[in-house]
Amino acid sequence: MSGSARRLVVLAVVVALVAGCRRKPAREWRADDHDEEPSAPAPGPGAAPGAAAAAGGGNPDDLVDATWTSKCAECHGVSGQGNGPKAAMTKPPNLADPALLGSRTDEQLANTIRTGKGKMPAFGTLPPSVIAGLIRRIRTLGGE
């Protein structure tokens, strides 16, 4: 019994020492290093299209391009061929294929973008003007 009691005391001392050691460098770190932490919040990924529109003087094509790059290209690829970084998981179609686009009206494409389809998420919060711009952009991919 006395053996395990002593072990407990030793353990308590060790814990106290470790806790004491931790506290001291923490205080010194705060004084010296904390200033180096960047305090300006980086703009979130969702802010990109709005920021691009503001920076580009509100050119609607810039907003469409920024939206395509930030929200669509990860699956569809920059030129819509279905080769973005997430394409292996989601298997998007080749949007540059005239056979696919030729069989869809603008309204059908707009509905797919707004409500999603299969593994494609819904983008119902995009303004109608941006959705229309995305469709124009997609239709140029296949040389239409």
Q: Which is nearer to ligand HEC, 60 or 86 (CB)?
A: 86
Q: How far apart are CA 126 and CA 135, in angstroms?
A: 12
Q: How far apart are CA 133 and CA 131, in angstroms?
A: 5
Q: Which of 60, 62, 69, 123 lies at the binding interface for ligand HEC (CB under 6 A)?
A: 123
- Does 120 participate in binding ligand HEC (rule CB under 6 A)? yes
> Least separation, in Å, of the C-beta of 104 and ligand HEC?
5
* C-alpha closest to that of 66 among 55, 89, 108, 75: 55
Q: How far apart are CA 144 and CA 27, in angstroms?
A: 65
Subset of 77-106 contacting ligand HEC (CB under 6 A): 86, 90-93, 95, 104
Q: How far apart are CA 93 and CA 70, in angstroms?
A: 18
| Binding positions for ligand HEC, rule: CB under 6 A | 71-72, 74-76, 86, 90-93, 95, 104, 108-109, 112-113, 117-121, 123, 134, 138
